[in-house]
Amino acid sequence: MGNKNSNLKSPIAALLVVLMVATSCLPSIKDRTTGYAGENPNSYTGPIIDMHIHAFDEQHPMFGMAHPPTLRKETFKGVRSANEQKEKTLAKFREHHIVKAIVTNGGSWYNDAPDIILIGDAETGIDVLKKQYNRGHLKAIAEMSPFYRGIVADDPSQLPYFKLAQELDIPLGFHIFPGGPNYGFHIMPQMLGGMRTYNANPLQLERALVAYPHVKLYIMHGGWPYVEDVKALMYAHPNVYVDIAVLNWILPQEEFNTYLKSLINAGFGDRIMYGSDQMVWPEVISIGIETVNNAAFLTLEQKENIFYDNAAEFLGLSEKEIMKHKSGNDP
């Protein structure tokens, strides 16, 4: 979803305004609390890397927005300001030992947590991204979401971003499906533009992967429900990873388990990374962590891979930094 003041005039921002109005009429909002700490004896409690966070500017239309009921039949109250978003998200980082996070528009938070924040951007032009990188500010091209505008990954307008990510050797996070809330088309059909399920298949990434075979790509939201096609891409391209953001708080536990187990059974457990896609609902960070910990088929080692090790490998963290995180000596 958008992350710049300039985006307020975009179709995505307009969609969010309509959603905010629509959800304000919900009869009740459940105040969700998580049983993450202590209820599951097989819970992972080590360092976590969140591959998918958003920082918004003060004028962003999502502030105060209630999320409509998920497939779990839960909804969440939205924070009301940029400062509240930042403070509550950083509090979740401390609560759950999140030691690194890719934050779209993260420059506005960087000074508050410079050892944690990895700044991501993709809503600006190639030249601007190059300048950000040269200043040491850009650590990922993420999130890319042309899906909302009906544009697929191999469109000529998108390929330069893959090229730049490969040249700079930084991660590229590409958002396909699920996009927006469940049933979103029926909530605001006039605002969704080209967002269609037939436009969401992850196989659209293959032309870009062939053209730029060394790009460090991760599929945001894991490509659900196209899990067989995700496995095909991961089989063909060792540089393809997934994050499980949104899936871990919007899907019922058993459906999430089915998706996750399918990838692990296929041999891709070393390329699955935790993410939350926290926007204005900081509690989803806790829910996402709880969901992974509640996947009873996972061993603690597999949970550690998802929460930390796979992302540490993908991001190229040094052995010194990894040891610091795992020793508990990080900030």
Of residues 157 and 34, which shows the higher confidence score? 157
Nearest to 243 by CA among 270, 269, 274: 274
- Chain-wide mean pLDDT for the chain? 88
Question: CA–CA separation, 231 vs 237, rounded Å?
Answer: 10
What lies within 8 Å, CB to CB, of 112 at 6+ separation is 86, 90
What pLDDT band is residue 29 in, cutting at 50, 70 and 90?
very low
Question: CA–CA separation, 43 vs 304, rounded Å?
Answer: 10
> Which pTM was predicted?
0.88
Architecture of domain 5-26+45-327: Alpha-Beta Barrel (3.20)
Q: What is the pLDDT of residue 190?
A: 58
To which residue do tokens 């960087």 refer? 110
Q: What is the pLDDT of residue 39?
A: 57
Question: CA–CA separation, 204 vs 266, rounded Å?
Answer: 21
What lies within 8 Å, CB to CB, of 153 at 6+ separation is 144, 146, 174, 176, 204, 205, 207, 208
Question: CA–CA separation, 190 vs 178, rounded Å?
Answer: 18
Q: Which two tokens stand for residue 172?
A: 């590229």
CB 70 within 8 A of CB 181: yes
When pLDDT is averaged across residues 112-117 and rounded to a whole number, the result is 97
Q: What is the pLDDT of residues 256-289, one digit of tens each?
A: 999 999 999 999 999 999 999 999 999 999 999 9
What pLDDT band is residue 28 in, cutting at 50, 70 and 90?
very low
Q: What is the Cα 268 distance to its own chain's centre?
A: 19
Q: What is the pLDDT of residue 231?
A: 98
SS in 3 state form for the chain? CCCCHHHHHCHHHHHHHHHHHHHCCCCCCCCCCCCCCCCCCCCCCCCEEEEEEECCCCCCCCCCCCECCCCCCCCECCCCCHHHHHHHHHHHHHHCCEEEEEEECHHHCHHHCCCCEEEECCCCCHHHHHHHHHCCCCCEEEEECHHHHCCCCCCCCCHHHHHHHHHHCCCEEEECCCCCCCCHHHHCHHHCCCCCHHHCCHHHHHHHHHHCCCCCEEEEHHHCCCHHHHHHHHHHCCCEEEECCCHHHHCCHHHHHHHHHHHHHCCCHHHEECCCCECCCCHHHHHHHHHHHCCCCCCHHHHHHHHHHHHHHHHCCCHHHHHHHHHCCCC
pLDDT above 70: residue 8 = no
- What percent of the chain is predicted at pLDDT more than 70? 84
Q: What is the pLDDT of residue 183?
A: 76
Q: What is the pLDDT of residues 120-162, one digit of tens each?
A: 999 899 999 999 999 999 999 999 988 888 899 999 999 999 9
pLDDT above 80: residue 188 = no
- Amino acid of residue 203: L
- Amino acid of residue 151: I
Nearest to 259 by CA among 308, 285, 287, 221: 221
Domain ranges of the chain: 5-26+45-327
